Structures are given as structure tokens and as C-alpha cells.
Structure 1
Amino acid sequence: MAEISRLPGPQADRWEWQYQGACRETGSEAFFHPEGERGARRRARDASAKLVCAGCPVLQECREHALTVREPYGVWGGMTEDEREAHHAAHELAS
């Protein structure tokens, strides 16, 4: 018989923080730009998304997730796609 205590926990345990995200009360369009959005409209949408993130109780978990999996789209953990890429580039140069 398998020793149950040695089995990994349910996958949901890793993502439980998402249930506490402030973004759950906001539509995904606030965090992910539509095709072709550029300039002032995109900056304004990103700024609005970051305001939601700023008051989020799981901001750090969200940011760590996005950086770890190299999330390619949207605002996650208060960081835009470009900010995450800049973060990765800076850390790769430092290595």
C-alpha cells in the first residue's frame, strides 16, 4: 500500500492564492490589451490594471508566478509584459 503522506498535494494548493486576487472582481480586458492597442490607450489601461494590483493582497505571489513562468501577456503582479522582460534581461546580464 502506498504511503499517502509522501504523495504530492493537490495541484490546487499551488494556485490557491488566485482566489484572493483583487483582479477577480475586474474583467480580464483590464489586464490584457486587445490586438493592436498602442500608445496612450495602452498606457492608460496598464495604469488602471496596476491600480487594481496595488491594493491586492496576493500581489507578491502573482508577481512571482508571472516571473517564474515568464508570463508573456498582460499585467501580472503589478508588472506589464515589458517590465517583466526588462526584469529578466537585467537578471540575465547580472548572471
Structure 2
Amino acid sequence: MNTEPHGYRVLMKLLFGGEPPAWREQAACSDTDPTLFHTPSRTAAAKAVCASCPVLAECRENQLSWEANGPARYRDNAFGVVGGLSGAERRRIHYPPRNAKDVA
């Protein structure tokens, strides 16, 4: 019997097309309250969980790819800590600052 909440199953279907990737089971955050990663005042604590994660690279790559390949609103409105990066850090990856020299 599947004991996951209905909302979780819907989210996984939207994000991953069905089931979460296999590496997700090994994630340091798998048993952590998800609100930790979406509470601005707890960013340092969320990043500390990510820092100890054995699948940090896979998580970060997955999130950045999802944001980059989806509608612009995914990149523009990135929030929370995912893959050890805050929303602002992920936005800077998607939209690196331009140098005055690069514009000319």
C-alpha cells in the first residue's frame, strides 16, 4: 500500500513524469521536513543538510536542468534551497551578470 500523501504523488508526477529518480532515496533530505528548504530564515540549516548529502551533484544537476528546460518562470522564480543552492544562487547560474566589456 502506498502511504505517501496524494499531493506528493501529484508533485512527483509533475516534476519527474511519475516516480522520483532512484538517487532521491539516498538524499540526506529524504527524512527531513521539506519546509526547512523553503523557509528563508533557515537557509543555513538547509544548506548544512545538503552539504552532507551523498547525491548532492545529482540533485543540483537535476534541479538546474529542470529550471533551465522549463518555462522561464521556473528560473525567474527559483526559491528555496535545492542541491545546496538558494534560489538566488540558482538564478545567478541561469542569468550570470554581464560584464560591461561583454556588452560592447
TM-score normalized with structure 1 length: 0.67
Q: Which amino acid aligns with 2:88?
A: D
Pairing of 1:6-85 with structure 2 (within 5 A): 12=19, 15-33=21-39, 42=40, 44-70=41-67, 72-85=78-91
What residue number does 2:12 align with? none
Measure, in 1, the Cα distance between the counterparts of 2:97 and 2:88. Answer: 14
Equivalent pairs, count: 74
- The two structures, once aligned, show a CA RMSD in angstroms of 2.4
Task: After superposition, give the CA deviation of every residue in 1:21-57 in whole Å (9 maximum; x if it has no partner).
Answer: 0001210011012xxxxxxxx2x41110000000000
Give the greater-gyration-radius structure (CA): 1
What residue number does 2:15 align with? none
State the shift of 1:73 in Å.
Answer: 3.0
Q: Which amino acid aligns with 2:91?
A: E
Give every structure 1 segment of 4 or more consecutive aligned residues whose post-TM-superposition deviation is greater than 3 Å: 91-94
Gaps of 5+ in 1: 1-10, 34-41
Matched-pair identity in %: 39
Q: Which amino acid aligns with 2:92?
A: A
Residues 92 and 77 (structure 1 numbering): CA distance in 2 closer, same or farther, change over 3 Å? farther
Measure, in 1, the Cα distance between the counterparts of 2:33 and 2:91. Answer: 24
Q: Which has the higher contact order (CA 8 A, sep 6+)?
A: 1
What residue number does 2:13 align with? none
